[in-house]
Amino acid sequence: MAFERPSWRTRSSTIEPLTNVIVEMEEVIVTADIPCADVSKIRVSFVDEKTLEITAQLKRKFRFQDFNISHRRGEFSRYHAMVTIPVPIEKRIALTCEKNILEIRLPRKSIVST
């Protein structure tokens, strides 16, 4: 049974962006939807061999009330996501951000058979 969790954390003022992981033959492509993010304040780093952390500062703070949500209180100033990579990769990151979509390309480790 899978349990859903909220995509926001009011204590840390973060919201989780929508992410997608595409595994191809030679690379893994991770995308994150980060509208209103300050492109100069995007950070991508490895937490461990299989986990990638994405953070991005928003250009301005958003509140639940900005989205006509009245039953919750809180504001958000940055994006935060932890993404699991399902295959072995090299720790080289190539990223681009166009039209509010962050694209991270990670080369797969080559498996040498003997």
CATH number at residue 38: 2.60.40.790
For strands 51-63 and 75-84, give the pairing: antiparallel
Residues of the chain above pLDDT 70, percent: 91
> What is the pLDDT, as a whole number, of residue 84?
96
Distance of CA 62 to the CA centre of its chain: 18
In a domain, 89, yes or no: yes
* Per-residue pLDDT, 3: 57
Asked whether 74 and 8 are in contact (CB, 8 A), the reply is yes
- Domain of residue 86, residue span: 16-58+82-107
Q: Give the model's confidence band at 2: pLDDT under 50 very low, under 70 low, under 90 confident, else very high.
A: low
8 within some domain: no
6: tokens are: 């909220």
The count of structural domains within the chain is 1
Total-model pTM: 0.85
- In this predicted model, what pLDDT tens digit does every residue of 17-58 receive, in sequence order? 999 999 999 999 999 999 999 999 999 999 998 999 999 999
In a domain? residue 9? no
Q: Are 109 and 62 in contact, with CB atoms under 8 Å apart? A: no
Domain annotation covers residue 11: no
Is residue 100 included in any domain, yes or no?
yes
